[in-house]
Structure 1
Amino acid sequence: MADRPPRIHLDNADLTRGHPLVVLFRLIRDERRRVVMATASSIINKIFDVMPEILIGIALDVVVRGEASFVAQLGLSDPTDQLIALGIATFLIWFGESLFEYIYQVLWRGLAQDVQHRLRILCYNHAQYLPTRFFEEQRSGNLVTILNDDINQLERFLDGGANTLIQTFAAVILVGTVFFIVSPLIAVVAFLPVPAIIFGAFWFQKRAQTRYDTVRARAGQLGAKLTTNLQGLATIRAFGAEERETEALSQESVGYLTANRAAIRISSAFIPIIRMAILSGFLATFLIGGWMTLNGTMEVGAYGLLVFLTQRLLWPMTGLAEVIDLYERAMASTRRILSLLNEPIAKDEGTHDVAVDGRFALKNVAFRYETSNGGVNGIDLDIPAGHTVALVGPTGGGKSTLIKLIGRFLDPQSGSIALDDVTLDRWTIKALRRSMAWVPQEVTLFAGSVADNIAYGRPDASRDEVIAAARLAEADSFISALPDGYDTSIGEYGQKLSGGQRQRIALARALLLDPRILILDEATSAVDNETEAAIQRSLAKMRGQRTVILVAHRLSTVVHADTIHVMEQGRLTQSGTHAELIRQPGLYRTLWSIQTGEAPRESATVEDISKAARS
């Protein structure tokens, strides 16, 4: 099987409509041949599995009736020859049963592993193309639970439960056929419990479904809490909140435990009820068959055959409780998987794909988040190609939202954004990503070497190109001083590096793409003066060569920008060069005076300063 997700158009409504199990098989329809082979192997194994009971009945018939037995009618009159023939048949049947058990286990388990792999890659691949707002509304731990635990639940069902269901139904058909051939009366009586068992299974399924949906939802919440806490251990320790967080996690775990107990109470009641139904069928065969044998209307061998087959038919049905438990857990997980796959992706309907100059024109752009009042409104902005433009202002002023709109991580709800006189929705996503590089405030580095992280956007880049990008980002000197230089392993999230070093590697990673547009979102807000100065020198070298859009709270970072735009409450309130803005009354001059120590820090927050400036 190829190590890639199946080529599926997830926007096809027909694909994801219907029962989760049906949809699942649509998603893996190219594995139909393996499913058929696995199902056939399970049925053949069950045929061989039922045969020993039939042979026991035939053997009893040989011992009791001798030369008048059923086998004698096939041409073997001597009882000894009959027993030898039965012995050979027994060996072949057991060999066949063992062979097909091996085959169906390999097929079902292999299929389960492959489906698990496929769905995980398919879900992850789909998640990568979901719009930014989806991740702003979802907890990452819940997504991890879907990609890991929910898919594992489905794998557990395919690994064992599917085979058990198939073999149970195969046993009902096979044994039922033998019963009706030997004694239609006993067949009818022995099969009376089967409807009760099936009814009980559906009764259980109906009541278990909502409970297992709750279990999976609780599992997602627990996973989200664990992920958040493990990523924030340093903060938890810094505030001495270990006991409080342990208690909060305990509450989430108790919620998951309680949901599981509610489901377990339903599943545990199933087996005792089914056992009583089985007992009635077994007693009917035992008593009626015995009475018929005593009256001479049934042979001893046939009686023994029916008694053994009743056991073979009914007792395995007690395992339906465990299988249906697995099934309901798997279907609850599948519903969550399909819920993720049904999330609409950010479609790329653009066709424009040419070299980018880097000129932006925003006209009356507006965007509001559904869950808050944050966003931007009425933004008119022109950014010439090759200019360095800065966005400053209080937290919540709309700066990050605006650059997400410019980078087309969000689409405006009204107004338009044009790049080189072509609206962003007409550009291909590939062209935009190729032309833009992003350096966020919270840098994400990956486990691996320094060189690997710098070359993340261009894995085929040469070492000389990596070093050149690092020099442009003022990172070469500290990288060269590391134990293994560019081959130094930086650990998960780059934890072996300082914050400033991570920022400069992120800048080098962006510059290696040689983008026409460089976006820095608070890239200097949490770095030391040395790193800020290094980034400023890097920006000075790029001046006029590419369009640079800076978001900053630290105004010393933006003083050399060609244009500085001040944003408050989602609107542009001031624009100009640094020299022009400090001569104007307003928020910028107030902030500059405070940050340079020319004015007392009387206001506690930037928002307070903003209010004072407006007044």
Structure 2
Amino acid sequence: MASPAPSDPVVHPLRRLWAYATEFRRRIVTAVVATVLNKLFDIAPELLIGVAIDVVVRTDDSFVAQIFGVEDREQQLYVLAAITVVAWVLESVSQYVSDRMWRGLSQDLQHDLRMDAYRHVQDLDLAWFEDRASGRLLTILGDDVNQLERFLDVGASKIVLTATNVVAVGAVFLAISPTLALLAFVPIPVIIGGSLLFQRRLGPRYAAVREAAGRVGGLLGGNLGGIATIKAFGAERREAARVAGASAEYAAANRSAIALSSAFVPLIRMAILTGFVVTLVLGGKAALDGNLEVGLYSVLVFMTQRLLWPLTELGETLDLYQRGVASIRRILDLLDTPIGIRSGGRQLAAATPGAVRFDDVRFSYRPVPPGAAGPAPASDAVEDRLVLRGLDLDVPAGETHAIVGATGAGKSTVVKLLLRLYAPDAGTIAVDGAPVEELSLPSLRGAIGYVGQDTFLFDGTVADNLRYGAPDATDEQLRHAAELAEADAFVRDLPRGYETPVGERGVKLSGGQRQRLTIARALVRDPAILVLDEATSAVDNETEAAIQRSLLRVSRERTTIVIAHRLSTIRHAHRIHVLHEGRVVESGTHDELVAARGRYAALWAVQTGEVVGATG
């Protein structure tokens, strides 16, 4: 699939879609050709009616007699009947092909767009998500893609049919009577002008509808995800009122668009009436005066309705068009979002040791002005935004290192940078001497087993969740990892053991059970580097002690980085690093840091109930 055209507001969304859909262009052209042929065969009966009347009125001098050389009127009717059968069969066949092509296109193109957009979203860096509501993304990936499907399924073919109808019928009028053609086409500029006017006014209204739909989706998604909190605070009515307000805004935006689009059909009806009356009166007068054959007059009367009446559906088609264009723009704008963190080309060795090093790393969650990062001193405004301010950290392979510090010191940021969920503003992060930006993301993240503060489990069985990072893991490997995480015993007690469903986000399990399963999930991968970000924050003291025993065993075989709030969990680390305002201000073993009576000693004293003044 080709990359979409740049999101230049001057470039029409349909042109951008054409640039994107390179693999579908042949099918699109085939669908258009089938639709054009279907309309041409569709107007053939009106022409044949005029020819039949011509046979009855002119007898031996009829059009059929002149073309086919058949003088007997009954035989002429048989000829017309045969032509009619062929025309109807071809119309039916072309309609079948047209419907199959457009509907197949709508399904396949919307599928590719949804999947390309979803894959692209997965490749965007984490910072991009923090400024956007998940409900808006769900609306784009769901409802907007469905709007495009409806437009391709119905609207696109109607546009082609209408255009073909105008051109083909116009050609018939010009061939029969250029004067009547001119008069019959007088309403067309009114209809086209009205269409363009409505299009310009409907566009912003349907864009507002899509935005309102995104707000409703975001609110609903957030509320359903936080239903327990809503119930705990007794906020059901308040949240219902918020949803009602957002839903009312969506309904109001739709009503505004509907009010304008509904006025379109009456306008077209008046234009149709004008064209029909002109043809009826002036064409009839020409036939009475002998200036126009009766058969041709009947063709023009039928063709006037054929020309103008389908335009009554232009309002509905325009409605589908505007909704589709608004959705296409949002989908392609999402696809145009630049990827900030791209995969490198280097691969870590299968048995990589797992040494980690941070050299003078600086990072801010908000963009730092160009030139502010680097060895040169930054301004106060830039420094205020920095989370890490020249971080140096060396974790040799096979050792367990802990990172501690007050809230906001940048502990979890270190882990996110190591996983390349974010990119540093300056400095170097390396694994086994290889800068992480040079490593492929699957290789880097495949070497790391991550256990975060958020104990997120997917809707599936215990085994499904444990295999999430290693789909080919055996049952024995699952049980071994669960034993290391002190999870095997409670899993075996579940109704179906490892095949027990955990529910969405693991709601059927306790917080401690979820936490132990996330640790086991990381261990199933047998990673070279194990990262534990507050991994025991949601467990009780007994479970914490059990997990600590298991971590002592697994950490002997791999590099382990522990982000800890409970200092008792990292007493046996080879080295403890104390972060303060984005820098390492103390490093050493537990005993060394307590003896130094600095920041670590103060934190230890608070947690153990002692009162000690820090000197660092």
The CA RMSD over aligned residues, in Å, is 2.2
1:396 paired residue among 405, 408, 421:
408
Match of 1:33 among 26, 39, 63: 26
Looking at structure 2, the residues matched to 548 and 383 of structure 1 have their Cα atoms a distance apart, in angstroms, of 9
Shift of the 157–96 alpha-carbon distance from structure 1 to 2, 3 Å rule, reads same
Distance (Å, rounded) in 1 between the aligned partners of 2:100 and 2:284? 42
**Of residues 421, 434, 437 in structure 2, which corresponds to 1:425?**
437
Residue 50 of structure 2, aligned match among 53, 57, 61: 57
Please state how far the C-alpha of 1:411 moved relative to its aligned partner.
1.1
* Structure 1 CA distance for aligned equivalents of residues 512 and 124 of structure 2: 31
Query: Given the alignment of the two structures, is residue 255 of structure 1 paired with residue 249 of structure 2, yes or no?
Result: yes
Residue 292 of structure 2 is aligned to residue 292 of structure 1: no
One-letter code of the match for 1:94?
Answer: W
2:64 pairs with 1:71: yes
- 2:356 counterpart residue number: 360
Partner of 2:605: 593
The residue that corresponds to 1:101 in the other structure is 95
Offset of residue 175 of structure 1: 0.7
Q: Residue 606 of structure 1 corresponds to which residue in structure 2?
A: none
Q: Which residue in 2 is equivalent to 1:138?
A: 132
1:466 paired residue number? 478
Provide the residue aligned with 1:328 in structure 2: 322
Matched, 1:127 2:121: yes
The answer to whether the 8 Å contact 1:119/1:151 transfers is yes
The structure-2 alpha-carbon separation of the partners of 1:190 and 1:41, relative to structure 1 and needing over 3 Å to count, comes to same
Q: Is the 8 A contact 1:16 1:342 kept in 2?
A: no
Q: Deviations over 1:516-542 (max 9, x none)?
A: 111111221122223322321121002
**Residue 593 (structure 1) shift:** 2.7
The answer to whether the 8 A contact 2:7-2:332 is kept is: no
Q: What is the 5 A alignment of 1:534-613?
A: 534-599=546-611
Cα offset, 1:240, TM superposition: 0.4
TM-score by length of 2: 0.92
Do the aligned partners of 1:142 and 1:221 also contact (CA within 8 Å) in 2? yes
| 2:109 counterpart letter in structure 1 | V
Size of the aligned set, in residue pairs, is 597
- 8 A contact 2:7–2:333 mirrored in 1: no
2:319 alignment partner, SS class: helix
* SS across alignment from 2:530: strand
Aligned equivalents of 2:422 and 2:524: distance in 1? 25
- Contact 1:15–1:23 under 8 Å retained in 2: no
Distance in 2 of aligned mates of 1:536 and 1:324: 65
Query: In structure 2, what is the Cα distance between the partners aligned to 1:503 and 1:443?
Result: 6
Tell me, in whole angstroms, the C-alpha distance in 1 between the residues paired with 2:321 and 2:615.
63
Give the partner amino acid of 2:591.
A
The CA deviation string for residues 138-185 of structure 1, in whole angstroms up to 9 with x for no partner, is 221111111100000000000000100001111111111111111111
Alignment partner for residue 20 of structure 1, among 5, 13, 30? 13
1:370 paired to 2:366: yes
Give 2:107's match in structure 1, choosing from 113, 130, 133. 113
Residues 266 and 17 of structure 1, relative CA distance in 2, 3 Å threshold? closer
Q: Aligned partners of 1:330 and 1:533: how far apart in 2?
A: 58
- Map Cα deviations across residues 236-293 of structure 1 (whole Å, 9 max, x no partner): 0011000111111112112222222222232222222222222222222111101111
1:348 and 2:343 equivalent?
A: yes
With the length of structure 1 as denominator, give the TM-score of the two structures.
0.92
Which is worse superposed, 380-389 or 574-583?
574-583
The answer on whether the counterparts of 2:102 and 2:152 sit within 8 Å (CA) in structure 1 is yes
- TM-fit CA distance, 1:189: 1.1
1:505 counterpart residue number: 517
- Any stretches of 5+ residues in structure 2 without a counterpart? 368-383
Show the counterpart of 1:604: none
Deviations 1:300-326 (A, max 9, x none): 111111011010011111211111211
How far off is 1:480 after superposition? 1.6
For residues 4-27 of structure 1, give each alpha carbon's deviation from its aligned partner in whole angstroms, at most 9, with x where no partner exists: xx4x456x8599993221221232
Structure 1 segments (4+ residues) deviating >6 Å: 14-17
**1:438: Cα distance to partner?**
0.8
Map 1:157-196 onto structure 2 (within 5 A). Answer: 157-196=151-190
SS in structure 1 of the partner of residue 290 of structure 2: coil
1:609 aligned residue: none
Of 210, 214, 217, 2:208 maps to 214
Provide the rounded CA distance (Å) in 1 between the counterparts of 2:153 and 2:328.
15
| SS of equivalent to 2:568 | helix
Partner of 2:80: 86
1:588 Cα deviation after fit: 3.0
Query: Contact 1:374/1:398 (CA < 8 Å) preserved in 2?
Result: no
Structure 1 portions without partners, runs of 5+:
1-5, 601-611
Identity %: 50
